[in-house]
Each structure stands twice: as structure tokens, then as C-alpha cells.
Structure 1
Amino acid sequence: MGIRLIKISAVYFTIGVCLGLYMSISHSFTLTPVHVHINLLGWTALTLAGIIYHLFPQAAATKLAKTHFWLHNIGLPLMMIGLIFVVYRHNAWIPVTALGGTLVVIAVIVFAVNVLQNVKQS
């Protein structure tokens, strides 16, 4: 699970950096919230979770870890796609953004519960 999260975080990092480059070249920074969230919730958060799961394989082997992985990686793309439309004032996408964000928040709570229950000093 740790390696899986680190690998998918590298995909999010690539997307975030490419989006940042696009914004710099076009001198249009409308998508800054998308860029920031992809890098924070995709690259940074998932890399750190991957490292934690790698260091504490007992936490990585739980159903909580699998639930965290899937909720986070379904919620984040939904939230980012929705947010792209919302920043361009297509307010019909607000529920998609909210649903994705809610899934990510639940994923983070599941991750925290997993860490609190299963990360122990060896």
C-alpha cells in the first residue's frame, strides 16, 4: 500500500507541475486552486501516507488503508474536475466538487483512525 500511494502521488505531482507550467506560460492563474489542491492532497499528503504505510506495514495491511486509498483517489479527481468548472463559474459543478471533497475528508479521517489504531512503536 505504501508503494502504491507513493507511485500515485508521483502522478498527481506530475499533473500539478504541468498545470503550474501551463498557468505560467499562459499567464492565466485561474486554476491556482486546482494546482494547489492537486499538489497538497495528491502529491504531499499521499506521499506522506505512503511513507507511513511503508514504515508501518501493519497499518498498510488493514481494510482501513484500502478504504483510505480508494476514497482519496476517487474523491480527489472528482473534486478537481468539479473545481475546474466551478472556478470558470459553472456552478452546476459545485455538488461534484463538494462530493469529491467530502470523500477526501472521509479518507483522511479513515487514515487518521488507521494511524491511531495501527501505528505502534516496535
Structure 2
Amino acid sequence: MKTGVSFLKIAALYFLIGVGMGLTMEIIQDHRLAGAHAHINLIGWVSMAIFGLIYILFPKAGESTLAKVHFWLYNISFPLFMLGLSFLLLGDSSLMILLRIFPNILVLSVLIFTINVFMNVRVDDVKKLLRQ
């Protein structure tokens, strides 16, 4: 359950960051970071919240080594991916190396999540949840 709760808490932070970015872009009328804003809301807030809920609802998946690897790879790669993307969107390609490495690590972490779900989420677990 710890991994699931950690994902939910970090997701809430990304929600705050995404909303703050959107508001700031609108106030200053500079929407160059709209791509990063969208990624932070979808990949940071929504996806991480869903990971968290799945790991809470299915403790076998949430307590697995795969969940822990998923958590760390995702939470290391995502902010560095967003940093590189933000610089690029602002016209500075000096951190392009971040965009060559960290989106791939993020995809790897999603692959690990998918494997974890297929290995550790069972129909019987879903039926048990629905009966509660």
C-alpha cells in the first residue's frame, strides 16, 4: 500500500504544479510551455493517481518489487523529462540530452507497470473488490 499512497501524494503535487502552470501561462499570456503543462497534468497528475489507486486496490501488485522499481524509475525520469521539454519549448536546446534519455526510462517504467498488472492483478481480486 505504501507505493500506492506515495504515487497518490506525488500525483497531487503534480496537479498543483500543472494548475499553477496553467494559471501562470494565462496571466502572463505566454503559452510556450503548454506542452509541458499538458504532460504534467496527464502523465504527472492523472497517470500517477491511477497507478496509486491500482496499487492500493490490488496490494499484491502494489507491494511487489516491480511496483517499487516502477515508482523510482517513473519519479526519476519524469521530472528530468519535463525539465528537458520545458527548455526545448522555450527555445533552448542545451538540455536536449534529457530528452534523449528520460522519456525512454519513463516508457520502461510504464512497461514494468504493465507487466506488474498482468502478473499481480487477478479476476478473483476484482470480484473480491466488487463484493466489498
Structure 2 counterpart of 1:117, from 104, 107, 119 = 119
**Matches of 2:4 and 2:14, distance apart in 1:** 15
Q: How far 1:63 sits from its partner (Å)?
A: 0.8
The answer for the alignment partner of 2:20 in structure 1 is 18
Indicate the SS of the match to 1:116: helix
SS in 2 for 1:91: coil
Q: CA deviation at 1:108?
A: 0.5
Letter in 2 for 1:85: F
Normalising by structure 1, report the TM-score.
Answer: 0.96
Counterpart of 1:89 in structure 2 is: 91
CA shift for structure 1 position 30: 0.1
Instruction: Give the conservation status (yes or no) of the 8 Å contact 1:78–1:99.
Output: no
The code of the aligned residue for 1:79 comes to F
Instruction: Name the larger-Rg structure.
Output: 2
- For the pair 1:46 / 2:48, whether they are aligned, the reply is yes
More off after superposition, 53-62 vs 96-105: 96-105
Q: Percent identity?
A: 41
State the AA in 1 paired with 2:26.
Answer: S
State the secondary structure of the residue aligned to 1:40: helix
- CA deviations on 1:19-54 (whole Å, 9 max, x unpaired) are 001001011100001100011111000000100000
Q: Taking structure 2 as the reference length, what is the TM-score of the superposition?
A: 0.89
Given that residues 16 and 35 in structure 1 are in contact (C-alpha distance below 8 angstroms), is that contact kept between their aligned partners in structure 2? yes
Alignment partner, residue 100 of structure 1: 102
Q: Which residue number corresponds to residue 63 of structure 1?
A: 65
Structure 1 counterpart SS, 2:91: coil
State the number of aligned residues.
122
Structure 1: gaps spanning 5 or more residues: none
Q: Which runs of 5+ in 2 are unaligned?
A: 126-132
For residue 99 of structure 1, report the CA deviation from its aligned partner: 1.5
The one-letter code of the counterpart of 1:110 is I
Partner of 2:32: 30
Q: Which runs of 4+ in 1 moved over 6 A?
A: none
